Chain A
Amino acid sequence: MAQNAAWKNLQHVQRVMDHAMSLKSDNSTLGYDDYSVNCNPGDATVSYDDVGETYFRIDIAGFTISFIALTCVGLVILTDKKLRTHPNELIAYICLSDAYNYFQILSRYIYCGFQISTYLDVIFSHTFLWPFYYVKMNWFGVEKIEGLTWD
């Protein structure tokens, strides 16, 4: 499971980074198009079949459950002295690493497909994941809303 999550996460960040690196350089403007980062340039899906919105939502549910469950298990082990015995500490670290990987994959879905709320948009705009906002696409039958702009 750890290898699978890590691999999917790497593919995901590699796609985004490759796309971002291939964007045109233009220091004079801050236009939307020049700096848009497509979350899913290769139109690859995490579901093996691109069969629309139902699977989109199922994937989101699955990644959310994995992320929350792994975070809980990791934190419970690290905060409980009795559980924090050999080699559970290492297992807790694996759980937290995988939770982060699932969060990354989940973020790709959420940023590309849904707007949660304006307040969360403002919070996310101050994080590492800010470039994810500039996505303009239809994905899994869900129309992507336009996010914040660079200005």
Chain B
Amino acid sequence: MKPAAHGTTVETPFSRLLAMLRPDLVRFALWLARDRSVAEDVVQETLIRAWKSRAELKDAGAARPWLFTIVRREHARLYERKRLPTVDVDEVEALGDPALASEGDASLDDLRRAIMQLPDEYREPLVMQVLGGFSTAEIAAELGLTQPAVLTRLFRARNRLRVIYGLEAVEDVE
């Protein structure tokens, strides 16, 4: 058993990558699950799966969407496996979480709460796009939707948030 030099910590590039991206993975999982403890479970499972499948990641630049995809699938899998109850909008624990409160920026607080209360079908593609950097084509492929359907969902998500932001909602696209 050849040990590492005493007192030193050897980190692989992949483990550094995971550590660097972990905060965004937690954020993404949190916006999906709307529950901190579920989000942490999802990220834990994600890191395990990512580590085991690390050989599949040929390009470090693609790590972010790759990991976000695993988060999304682990989130779905968690609900299937553990049969967790779906969260009613009025029961969203994260709505009362102090992390939603910004320093003196009430409109940002309102926006966070409004995003939390978006239906899953609107919130998920929006978070994938804005936080995850997915293109609409990538979202369509990942969610099993047509690209026009994704455009419609993203449009409607933003249209609901326009009102919170103090703008007039525009006419729906259909």
A-B complex is real: no
